[in-house]
């Protein structure tokens, strides 16, 4: 039989995102096996390994388990469709995960190459499980921590999808991306290496998404996809629709300025001060008002830059 066997029961199709209704597939698209349930181990049919060697092999096999699950998680981005688009934050997370997995793959190949060279050279003393375990030791910390992070993100995403549209306690549930930003920021400051270094790299990837969102809002008054601390106010679109058509552009712009958008303090990343968040919110709303007035001026045949409300700020 095989040297390494699975010790777990077959995972159901729905849990792995391969069956069930369309809504179940969409809600469970981020499914990932528990990082605490490594399902592979050295087969009991292999009698040549001593107990210490068996333990060392099983330790190395666990790295393969984490690698396989994280690889599957990262492939989520490639499986994006119009019906189930991938959040920009999960794309950034997957990009960071793929970087770490590529480094792990390179290190494993180096270990394999050294083993092969030593065997060819008949230098058996240089071939040891302990040596391989030592060279891959950092991944014994990094891969499980990364797996736990991905599992928590998947759980939060699944919970949000299953409760989409629920009004009960909606404000108490932070978007998964916001939780992820906060957790990675904390790990990048307080975690022990090597996880601290990896968390900092992942945070860099996610921060790029946040900076693009901030730029789009401050420079253009536009909200990109993904969780952001500026969001349309509840019922703001309906309120604007109720305005009488004769109210004029100024009235609509004023209504949007005062009640069109909210600053959600719970979504402000820990590396952004409350004062800075307020300034970002103000700038985006101001840009929207000025651009709206500019469009009105053009529609009225007035040269932009003349008269009141010319958009010069």
* pLDDT tens figures, 201-225: 999 999 999 999 999 999 999 999 8
**262 by DSSP, 3-state: which?**
strand
Looking at residue 302, what DSSP letter applies?
P
Q: Is the pLDDT of residue 73 over 80?
A: yes
Pull the structure tokens for residue 46.
Answer: 């292999």
CA distance 175 to 190: 23
Q: Is the pLDDT of residue 76 over 70?
A: yes
**Higher pLDDT among residues 62 and 76, named by residue:** 62
> Confidence band (pLDDT; 50, 70, 90) for 40?
confident
Q: Is the pLDDT of residue 197 over 60?
A: yes
- Return the closest-CA partner of residue 299 out of 239, 249, 260: 249
List, in order, residues 6 or more apart from 187 with CB less than 8 Å away.
Answer: 195, 196, 199, 203
> Confidence band (pLDDT; 50, 70, 90) for 82?
low
CA distance 96 to 125: 37
CA distance 155 to 219: 34
> Confidence band (pLDDT; 50, 70, 90) for 41?
confident
pLDDT by residue (tens digit) across 244-290? 554 566 667 777 787 789 999 988 998 999 999 999 999 999 998 88
- Return the closest-CA partner of residue 286 out of 213, 218, 234, 215: 218
Number of Cβ atoms within 10 Å of the Cβ of 229: 21
Domain positions in the chain are 4-162+172-219, 230-299
CA distance 178 to 304: 40
User: Rounded mean pLDDT of 294-309?
Assistant: 61
Whole-number Cα distances in Å, 89 to 85, 120, 163, 174, 249: 12, 47, 20, 14, 36
Q: Is the pLDDT of residue 94 over 70?
A: yes
pLDDT by residue (tens digit) across 110-158? 988 888 887 766 665 666 778 888 889 999 999 999 999 999 888 877 7
Q: Quick one: pLDDT at residue 26?
A: 41
Q: Are strands 230-232 and 261-263 parallel, antiparallel or unpaired?
A: antiparallel
Q: Is the pLDDT of residue 313 over 90?
A: no
Q: Is 90 exposed, middle or buried (0-12, 13-18, 19+ CB in 10 A)?
A: buried
Q: Quick one: pLDDT at residue 155?
A: 81
**Tokens 């830059």 -> residue:** 305
**Tokens 């053009």 -> residue:** 298
Q: Quick one: pLDDT at residue 275?
A: 95
**261 by DSSP, 3-state: which?**
strand
Percent with pLDDT over 70 in the chain: 67
User: Rounded mean pLDDT of 167-195?
Assistant: 78
Q: Quick one: pLDDT at residue 14?
A: 33
What mean pLDDT, rounded, does the chain reach? 77
Are the CB atoms for 252 and 232 separated by under 8 Å? no
Element (H, E) at 113: helix 88-120
Element (H, E) at 74: helix 51-74
DSSP letter string, 2-58: -SEEE-SPPPPTTTTTSSS-HHHHHHTTT----TT---EEE-TT--SS-HHHHHHHH
Q: Is 240 exposed, middle or buried (0-12, 13-18, 19+ CB in 10 A)?
A: middle
> Confidence band (pLDDT; 50, 70, 90) for 57?
confident
DSSP letter string, 191-259: SPTTHHHHHHHHHHHHHHHHHHHHHHHHHH----SS--SEEEPTTHHHHHHHS-GGG-HHHHHHHHHHH
Q: Quick one: pLDDT at residue 15?
A: 39
Highest mean pLDDT among 62-66, 80-84, 131-135, 173-177: 62-66
């Amino acid at each position: 039989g095989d040297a390494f066997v699975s010790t777990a029961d077959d995972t159901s199709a729905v849990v792995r995102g391969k069956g069930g209704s369309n809504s179940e597939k969409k809600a469970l698209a981020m499914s990932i096996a528990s990082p605490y349930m490594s399902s592979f181990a050295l087969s009991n049919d292999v009698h040549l390994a001593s107990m210490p060697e068996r333990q060392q092999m099983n330790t190395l096999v666990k790295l393969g388990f984490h690698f396989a699950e994280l690889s599957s998680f990262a492939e989520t981005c490639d499986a994006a469709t119009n019906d189930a688009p991938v959040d920009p934050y999960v794309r950034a997370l997957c990009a960071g995960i793929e970087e770490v997995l590529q480094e792990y793959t390179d290190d494993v190949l180096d270990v394999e190459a050294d083993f092969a060279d030593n065997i060819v050279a008949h230098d058996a003393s240089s071939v040891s499980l302990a040596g391989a375990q030592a060279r891959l030791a950092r991944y014994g910390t990094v891969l499980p921590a990364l797996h736990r992070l991905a599992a928590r993100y998947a759980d939060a995403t699944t919970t949000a999808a299953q409760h989409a549209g629920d009004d009960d306690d909606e404000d108490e549930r932070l978007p998964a991306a916001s939780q992820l930003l906060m957790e990675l920021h904390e790990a990048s400051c307080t975690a022990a290496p090597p996880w601290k270094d990896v968390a900092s790299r992942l945070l860099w990837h996610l921060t790029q998404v946040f900076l693009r969102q901030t730029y789009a809002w401050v420079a253009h008054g536009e909200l990109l996809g993904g969780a952001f601390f500026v969001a349309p106010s509840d019922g703001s679109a309906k309120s604007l629709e109720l305005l009488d058509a004769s109210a004029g552009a100024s009235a609509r712009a004023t209504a949007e300025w005062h009640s069109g958008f909210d600053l959600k303090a719970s979504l402000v990343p820990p590396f952004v001060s409350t004062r800075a968040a307020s300034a970002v919110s103000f700038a985006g709303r101001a840009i929207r008002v000025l651009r709206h007035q500019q469009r009105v001026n053009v529609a009225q045949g007035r040269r932009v830059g003349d008269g009141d409300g010319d958009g010069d700020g």
